[in-house]
Amino acid sequence: MDYITLSNNMVMPKLGFGVFQTPDGKKTEDAVKWALEAGYRQIDTAMIYGNEGSVGKAMEESGVQREDIFLTTKLWNEDIRRGNTMQAFEDSLKRLRTDYLDLYLIHWPADGFEKAWIDMEKIYTSGKAKAIGVSNFQPRHLEAIEKIASNRPTVNQIESNPYFNNQDVIDYCNARGISVTVWSPLGGTGGNILEDAVLRELSEKYKKSPAQVVIKWHLQRDVVVIPKSLHQNRIIDNFNVFDFALSKEDMEQINKLNRNTRSGADPDTFDF
């Protein structure tokens, strides 16, 4: 496993497991248990995914110690708009069957995110979240936080994949000591990135699947990556990426696949 050190000195596994669109109940429980069994030690969920309860149950039943898991969840937009950060945080903890989070994120820059950040700082000071951060923040949103914050966000979780590498925002964050986690790293559910001819060629060259090649590309760009799957074989394969390295030229080939096309919502125009 590779790790990064966040600006508050917390250590975060660079490869984690995401559970967006993973239905609550047995599917999420199995997926999280398989991930922990395969060696993942970072789980990424959110209140809005509706599966925090299953994530908590699976973690508890997995036999892996809570302190060995880096657990992230996110504050939803309605709670940001309603100024309900403190209660939403406590509700997430309860569903997750834990008394602390490793990382709590503002999910989107919804109206009221500045006030939510002040409350996030209170949660951080209480020790109940070991790190706090944001998601889907553009530089202008980060600048707004900068004006009012005692602590910079440790993490910005944003969309990035070979067709939308989002490198400008990654560079902006890195220059300010904000670590980046990338969502929909494989292009998201329903995407077609893994069929790309260049990735297929590299897959043959390295004897690794296109998904493994893409995950390695992210790791070598020094971002945290959280692929999702409901299939045990894919969950295992996606973790099996620490025994090869992409050459500089091949990293460059993948960089060139960028089309600036998002697979998810745009933080400048989202309407939910």
Ligand X SMILES: NC(=O)c1ccc[n+]([C@@H]2O[C@H](COP(=O)([O-])OP(=O)(O)OC[C@H]3O[C@@H](n4cnc5c(N)ncnc54)[C@H](OP(=O)(O)O)[C@@H]3O)[C@@H](O)[C@H]2O)c1
Q: Which residues are catalytic?
A: 49
Report the nearest approach of ligand X to the CB of residue 163 (Å): 11
Smallest distance from ligand X to CB 266, Å: 11
* Residue closest to ligand X (Cβ): 18
Q: How far is Cα of residue 93 from the mean position of the Cα atoms in its chain? A: 18
Site for ligand X, rule CB under 6 A: 18-20, 44, 107, 135-136, 157, 183-189, 194, 209, 211, 226-231, 234, 237-238, 264
Angle at 263 between CA 145 and CA 211, to 5 degrees: 105
Q: Which CB, 62 or 160, lies closer to ligand X?
A: 160
- Smallest distance, ligand X to C-beta of residue 43, A: 9
Q: Which one, 48 or 93, has the nearer CB to ligand X?
A: 48
- Is residue 74 within 8 A of residue 113, CB to CB? The reply is no
- The rounded Cα 14 to chain-centroid distance in angstroms is 10
- Beta carbon nearer to ligand X, 126 or 270: 270
Task: Give least dist CB 130 to ligand X, A.
Answer: 19
Q: Which residues fall within 8 angstroms of residue 129, CB to CB, at 6 or more apart?
A: 89, 100, 101, 102, 103, 104, 120, 123
Q: Which is nearer to ligand X, 127 or 155 (CB)?
A: 155
- Rounded Cα distance between 254 and 202, Å, is 9
